[in-house]
Structure 1
Amino acid sequence: MKIKAQISMVMNLDKCIGCHTCSIACKNVWTNRQGAEYMYFNNVETKPGTGYPKHWENQAKWKGGWELKDGKLQLRSGSKSERLLKLFYHPEQPEMDDYYEPWTYDYESLLSSKRKKHQPVARPRSLITQKRMEIKWGPNWEDDLADGESVRQDINLKNMAGEITMEFHDLFMKYLPRVCNHCLNPACVAACPSGAIYKREEDGVVLVSQDGCRGWRHCIPACPYKKVYFNWKTNKAEKCIFCFPRLENGLPTICTDTCVGRLRYMGVLLYDMDKVKEAASEPEAGNIYHSVLDILLDPHDPAVIEAARKEGIPANWLEAAQHSPVYRLIKEWKIALPLHAEYRTLPMVWYVPPLSPITRRMEADVYLPEVHDMRIPLAYLAELFGAGNTGVVAQSLQKLLDMRLVMRCQETGEEIPQRLAEDVVVYKDMYRLLAIAKYKDRCNIPAGISAKSQDKLRELQGTCGYNCPGGC
């Protein structure tokens, strides 16, 4: 048993209001420079929809993630020899139009315009070519849009083979914030020909060495979540770095810190590295979720604590793992689920699936509907969070409904039903964390880094690795 520590994140989708505050904060901190105009390390999508970049979930097109071939785990992009043939030309490479061509407006024409018969217009101008352009797509083009031809192209709807017609009475939508998942089995790391992408030993954050990157761009299609980008100015790959300078000081990511809905939870997970390959090689995609739960270890187990100490995990990290909110949501209560587990990357950013109190076929005065009567179809949520396994999503939603039922009974004095799967105390703790938790309860991150990382930071000599305006 080789124990590693992983900084993980859980997002409660019931609390996301789609304000994009997280996206703007991340944009201003990490990608506000030339060559990164089109990048959003953090973006919020409206589901159903094609997403950002377009159709990022269509792995038949992008060949992202892993697959089982003859019982062995292999990159979808092919074997080493097949990828070697694509070294100088990769046909599954996303283009700028798949993201969007970033633009600004010609505000100077408004300021310097002379007296005219008609009001001057600030026309859109490309940030890439500096020429005038016509706006046809953007990172939030489908914001709050639950209908339309582009929405019907959602690959999850197509996988459901017409179960949802998206007629007016069937319309539904929900927000999906996305960042790099800092996976336990990252396809981008395996696909990089130069070895520039690596997973940090002490906290599991996946980073790109700007010195080692040679711009081969194999990491971009290999990532099934399309969270690795190419900087056209520096010819380097870039991605979400989980705000690791903040983590090293015991602070959460900037998207977590600025989240208006307080829907993000961050903490430490302990996992058995020796079982990662076995979990990713689970034959049934719908059971990968259970395989990941099996490799997540109980931080209160004396045997786990002893093994972790032998691996050099500091005491403050073990203490943080024992008080980790993400451990409770993922392993203890089993209400958080991974996004597209069928990609076999074992993502470490998980989601509490959304409830939808407005029902499809039931009366409007029903306070708590059944799981299968939700307006957001269970089958659609299973495509996102259960690899098609509706059982794991139904179990999560039922616990959330039971939590609301317990709190309602507590307020009204009604008798609490006996059918509950957990003790009443558990549901009260669940409510406290999901609904009214304070900052320190939602984020428990140990400060400090290992000696190896300190040596690496000294080598960087105070730079962040990116070409920031005016220096680092």
Structure 2
Amino acid sequence: MRIRAQMAMVMNLDKCIGCHTCSVTCKQTWTNREGTEYVWFNNVETKPGIGYPKFYEDQERWKGGWKLDRKGRLVLRSGSRLRRLGNLFVNPDLPSIDDYYEPATFDKDILVSAPGGLTDTPVKRPHSRLTGEPMAITWGANWEDSLGGPTAQDDPNLAKMGETVKFEFEKTFLFHLPRICEHCLNPACVSACPSGAMYKRDEDGIVLVDQDRCRGWRMCVSACPYKKVYVNHATGKAEKCTLCFPRIEAGQPTICSETCVGRLRYLGLMWYDEDAVLAAASVEDDAALLDAQRSVFLDPNDPAVQQAARDAGMPEDWITAAAASPVWKLIGEYRIALPLHPEYRTLPMVWYVPPLSPVLDAAGAAGRDDTDADDIFHTISDLRIPVEYLASIFTAGDTGAAAGVLMKLAGMRSYMRARTLDGTVAQEILDRIGMSAEQVEAMYRLLAIAKYAERYVIPVAHQRQAAELDSQLTDCALDCAGGPGMGLTITPVARS
């Protein structure tokens, strides 16, 4: 066993209101400069929908992630190393600007500098940030925001469900899905990079780009099934979410977590067995990948694991932080967080608590008893957001696993409702979800009313690591020419 530390995130989708504050603050911190106008390290999608970039979940088209070959070996979906080398200069699986969107700006000066006496009101027209030419805005990173219909029928996840979901007005549904780089345990982008510029940090598992080694081959963009690696068109270099590692090293949460209005993000350390990663990613049955990845994680409260961490040179405060990690509690102890598309076999480390429709209201509307365990759990299959759709996104189609998580969440709500109203202990519900009263109440506190220090348990980098970390800063930071803080060059807009 080789124990490793991984900084991970969990997002509670029940609390996301789609305000995009996380996207805006991330944009202002990392990508508010020339060459990254179309780049969103963090974006919030509306599901169902085709996402950003368009159809990024369709791996038959983009060849992202991993698959098993005929001999059961794990190989990149983008092909062999020889195939990738042959496509260095003409990558057939690369999204175009139309799959993202053409960034625009506006000639605002015309509103204040137009001469008097005009018969027509001056209008600020959109101009391309890439060419300076007038353009029509037809798409954007959040174009589908709250639409819940016009593009939903093209969602690749719905294509797997056939006629299960019908978009009738009274039955339509949507939820918001914030996305960042998954900082995977088995990152396809790292393996696909011909120049070795993509790498995974030993000390905390954050995946970064060595800007000096990057040659702009863009194979990382194709290989990432989540399409969270971008190309700076001004520098020709690959860029991606850094999990705000300068803040993480100082014990602070990422900027998207810090500014999240819904307080839906959790950050913490996870221990995992590096020797078990390949076997977990190579499991033949897609539906078994969730349990396979969970088996890679090590219980930070196990004395044997703690001793193994000490033997591996982990600082004592990191061991303490891992034991208090809210991420471990949601993923490993309560088992209510799920990975995004485990079938991509990258073993992602940004997990989600799936959204739960108002199950108690649904039970009442259906004429059922919202205090009866059988009636509550039966309602799970009739919720507005279909279990099959959630399973397609979070459990590789395993509806049983997705329904099990929803039942725990519904059971928690029903238990806490009875506990709050009359002080009763709904033991039948506890028995059905296999949790104790203490666990349910602790899970409720973490999901509903957890304080700042409970949601973010981030140990600081140690002084003895400073030299190593400092040597990596020039490799992975974006404070190169044209990087954050280096000044923003504004291209003059041509007027028409």
What TM bracket, shorter-length normalisation? Answer: over 0.9
User: Do 2:479 and 2:486's aligned partners in 1 also have CA atoms closer than 8 Å?
Assistant: no
Structure-2 residue corresponding to 1:63 = 63
Matched letter for residue 46 of structure 1:
T
Q: Could you tell me how far apart the structure 2 residues matched to 1:42 and 1:365 are?
A: 42
1:406 aligns with 2:415: yes
Matched letter for residue 51 of structure 1:
G
Structure-1 residue corresponding to 2:350 = 349
2:436 to 415, 423, 433: 423
Q: Could you tell me how far apart the structure 1 residues matched to 2:79 and 2:471 are?
A: 38
Q: Could you tell me how far apart the structure 1 residues matched to 2:466 and 2:45 are?
A: 34
1:468 aligns with 2:469: no
User: Do 1:202 and 1:450's aligned partners in 2 also have CA atoms closer than 8 Å?
Assistant: no
CA RMSD of aligned residues (A): 1.8
Give the unaligned 5+ runs of structure 1: none
User: Do 1:210 and 1:465's aligned partners in 2 also have CA atoms closer than 8 Å?
Assistant: no
Deviations 1:373-401 (A, max 9, x none): 11100000000001000111111111111
Structure 1 residues 374 and 321 mapped into 2: Cα distance closer, same or farther (>3 Å)?
same
Work out the percentage of aligned pairs sharing the same amino acid. 53
Give the secondary-structure state (helix, strand or coil) at the position aligned to 1:226: coil
User: Do 2:273 and 2:296's aligned partners in 1 also have CA atoms closer than 8 Å?
Assistant: yes
Output aligned runs, 1:45-60, within 5 Å: 45-60=45-60
2:391 to 361, 382, 386: 382
Give the unaligned 5+ runs of structure 2: 488-496
User: Do 2:387 and 2:399's aligned partners in 1 also have CA atoms closer than 8 Å?
Assistant: yes
Deviations 1:228-269 (A, max 9, x none): 000110000000000000000000100000000000000000
Structure 1 residues 93 and 84 mapped into 2: Cα distance closer, same or farther (>3 Å)?
same
Matched letter for residue 138 of structure 1:
G
Deviations 1:154-210 (A, max 9, x none): 000001122112122331000000000000000000000000000000000000011
Q: Could you tell me how far apart the structure 1 residues matched to 2:169 and 2:12 are?
A: 27
User: Do 1:335 and 1:396's aligned partners in 2 also have CA atoms closer than 8 Å?
Assistant: yes
Structure 1 residues 91 and 450 mapped into 2: Cα distance closer, same or farther (>3 Å)?
farther
Deviations 1:114-172 (A, max 9, x none): 12111100001111111111111111111001112x22100000011221121223310
User: Do 1:202 and 1:449's aligned partners in 2 also have CA atoms closer than 8 Å?
Assistant: no
Matched letter for residue 343 of structure 2:
E
**1:419, distance to aligned residue in structure 2 (A):** 4.0
Structure-2 residue corresponding to 1:242 = 243
Structure 1 residues 344 and 460 mapped into 2: Cα distance closer, same or farther (>3 Å)?
closer
Deviations 1:334-353 (A, max 9, x none): 00000000000000000000
**1:81, distance to aligned residue in structure 2 (A):** 1.4
Structure 1 residues 221 and 291 mapped into 2: Cα distance closer, same or farther (>3 Å)?
same
Q: Could you tell me how far apart the structure 1 residues matched to 2:128 and 2:309 are?
A: 52
**1:363, distance to aligned residue in structure 2 (A):** 1.7
Give the secondary-structure state (helix, strand or coil) at the position aligned to 1:207: strand
Q: Could you tell me how far apart the structure 1 residues matched to 2:60 and 2:321 are?
A: 40
Structure-2 residue corresponding to 1:168 = 169
Q: Could you tell me how far apart the structure 2 residues matched to 1:47 and 1:261 are?
A: 18
Structure-2 residue corresponding to 1:396 = 405
Structure-2 residue corresponding to 1:273 = 274
Q: Could you tell me how far apart the structure 2 residues matched to 1:360 and 1:154 are?
A: 26
**1:303, distance to aligned residue in structure 2 (A):** 1.6
Matched letter for residue 468 of structure 1:
G
Give the secondary-structure state (helix, strand or coil) at the position aligned to 1:6: strand
Q: Could you tell me how far apart the structure 1 residues matched to 2:166 and 2:154 are?
A: 12
Give the secondary-structure state (helix, strand or coil) at the position aligned to 1:430: helix
User: Do 1:62 and 1:221's aligned partners in 2 also have CA atoms closer than 8 Å?
Assistant: yes
Matched letter for residue 429 of structure 1:
A
User: Do 1:266 and 1:443's aligned partners in 2 also have CA atoms closer than 8 Å?
Assistant: yes
Q: Could you tell me how far apart the structure 2 residues matched to 1:266 and 1:455 are?
A: 23
Matched letter for residue 113 of structure 2:
S
Q: Could you tell me how far apart the structure 2 residues matched to 1:365 and 1:111 are?
A: 62
Structure-1 residue corresponding to 2:4 = 4
Output aligned runs, 1:16-415, within 5 Å: 16-69=16-69, 70-115=71-116, 116-148=118-150, 150-357=151-358, 363=365, 367=370, 369=376, 370-413=379-422, 414=424
**1:465, distance to aligned residue in structure 2 (A):** 3.8
Matched letter for residue 382 of structure 2:
D
Structure 1 residues 233 and 461 mapped into 2: Cα distance closer, same or farther (>3 Å)?
closer
Q: Could you tell me how far apart the structure 1 residues matched to 2:444 and 2:363 are?
A: 28
Give the secondary-structure state (helix, strand or coil) at the position aligned to 1:137: coil
Deviations 1:38-75 (A, max 9, x none): 00000000000000000000000000000001200000
Structure-1 residue corresponding to 2:494 = none
**1:89, distance to aligned residue in structure 2 (A):** 1.2
Q: Could you tell me how far apart the structure 1 residues matched to 2:167 and 2:427 are?
A: 36
User: Do 2:6 and 2:205's aligned partners in 1 also have CA atoms closer than 8 Å?
Assistant: yes
Matched letter for residue 291 of structure 1:
A
1:436 to 449, 453, 463: 449
Q: Could you tell me how far apart the structure 2 residues matched to 1:173 and 1:135 are?
A: 24
Runs of 4+ in structure 1 off by over 6 angstroms are 358-362
Structure 1 residues 127 and 365 mapped into 2: Cα distance closer, same or farther (>3 Å)?
farther
Normalising to structure 1: TM-score of the pair?
A: 0.96
Normalising to structure 2: TM-score of the pair?
A: 0.92
**1:425, distance to aligned residue in structure 2 (A):** 1.1
Of 308-317 and 64-73, deviating more is 308-317
